[in-house]
Amino acid sequence: MKIALLGYGRMGKIIERVAIERGHSISIKADSKTTSLNFSDTDVAIDFSLPSTAVSNIKASIDAKVPVISGTTGWLESYEDIVSYCNEKKGAFLYASNFSLGVNIFFEVNRVLAKLIGNYSDYKLNIEEIHHTKKLDAPSGTAISLAEDIIQNSKFTNWAMDKTNADTVKIEAKRIVDVPGTHIVNYDSEVDSIEIKHTAHNREGFALGAVIAAEWIANKKGVFNMKDVLNIG
């Protein structure tokens, strides 16, 4: 496949290597200096750019009838608009806050735990995410996915980063040099604690998952997520 990389930073460069190792070629390497996108020689686009550029890149791909994989986080206020846009234009779009197999298994464990424990008022809930200091958005997209899954499967009704009440999932964001991505879900009561944790050791798993998603979405139409790709849960 010919893959357009919309964003050629930390992730874009690793995705390039993984894609070439899997027999693909790169048709576009877009960065902040790119002024226009020509998709004439592209089969699929992968966007790992900035919160401020993700929406226009996704729309440009859909307009060009190129299926688009979206890994950029921090733009989710426009997610429903993109879903409508993609459906109207009969395009193909897949967003994941985290493409790694490990985190997608972690999401499943988180949902089960929320169903089991999330209705007991004895436990206070805290999500902690730790990332490198260059990260632009907070909380991480992955932490938001974890919180939203807990809200769908328990008594919790909302998430917030600051003051919480009993129905709020509290998310704490920490920034430490070079950390690729760590997420912890902690339930704490007077008598015990239950904690699940995912630690990314590097960015390889995110890149591999994005390329697998790009291979999967070729020739499909619709709006998808990583559960569709991995067939888990």
Ligand X SMILES: NC(=O)C1=CN([C@@H]2O[C@H](COP(=O)(O)OP(=O)(O)OC[C@H]3O[C@@H](n4cnc5c(N)ncnc54)[C@H](OP(=O)(O)O)[C@@H]3O)[C@@H](O)[C@H]2O)C=CC1
Q: Buried b vs exposed e over 128-156: b needs ≥16 C-beta within 10 Å?
A: bbbbeeebebbbbbbbbbbbbbbbebbeb
Indicate if 135 belongs to the active site.
yes
- Is 209 known as a binding-site position? no
Q: Which of 12, 118, 141, 209 binds ligand LZUJQKHR (CB under 6 A)?
A: 141
What is the three-class DSSP state of 198?
A: strand
What is the three-class DSSP state of 21?
A: helix
Which of 96, 111, 73 shows the shortest CA–CA distance to 196?
Answer: 111
Classify residue 33 by its DSSP letter: T
- Is 205 known as a binding-site position? no
Nearer to ligand LZUJQKHR, 59 or 131 (CB): 131
Q: Which of 48, 85, 123, 156 binds ligand X (CB under 6 A)?
A: 48
**Residue 135 interacting with ligand LZUJQKHR (CB under 6 A):** yes
> What minimum distance in Å lies between the beta carbon of 131 and ligand LZUJQKHR?
5
Catalytic choice (24, 59, 131, 198)? 131
Q: Buried b vs exposed e over 74-94: b needs ≥16 C-beta within 10 Å?
A: bbbeeeeebeebbeeeebbbb
**Residue 39 interacting with ligand X (CB under 6 A):** no
Which of 176, 154, 156 shows the shortest CA–CA distance to 164?
Answer: 156
Which of 155, 73, 162 shows the shortest CA–CA distance to 126?
Answer: 162
- H or E element in which residue 54 lies: helix 54-63
Chosen from ligand LZUJQKHR, ligand X, none, partner binding at 34 (C-beta under 5 to 8 Å by type): ligand X
Residue 192 CB neighbours (<10 A): 9
- Is 71 known as a binding-site position? yes
Indicate if 2 belongs to the active site.
no
**The sheet that has 124-131: what strands, in order across it?**
158-160, 168-175, 124-131, 182-188, 193-199
Nearer to ligand X, 73 or 110 (CB): 73
Catalytic choice (13, 29, 124, 135)? 135
Contacts of 197 (CB under 8 A, 6+ apart): 182, 183, 184, 185
Nearer to ligand X, 51 or 124 (CB): 51
> What minimum distance in Å lies between the beta carbon of 8 and ligand X?
4
Stretch that binds ligand LZUJQKHR, among 25-33, 50-58, 137-145, 216-224 (CB under 6 A): 137-145
Nearer to ligand X, 110 or 154 (CB): 110
Binding annotation for (S)-2,3,4,5-tetrahydrodipicolinate? 132, 141-142
Residues with active-site annotation: 131, 135
* Chain contacts with ligand LZUJQKHR (rule: CB under 6 A): 73, 97-98, 131, 135, 140-142, 181
Binding annotation for NADP(+)? 22
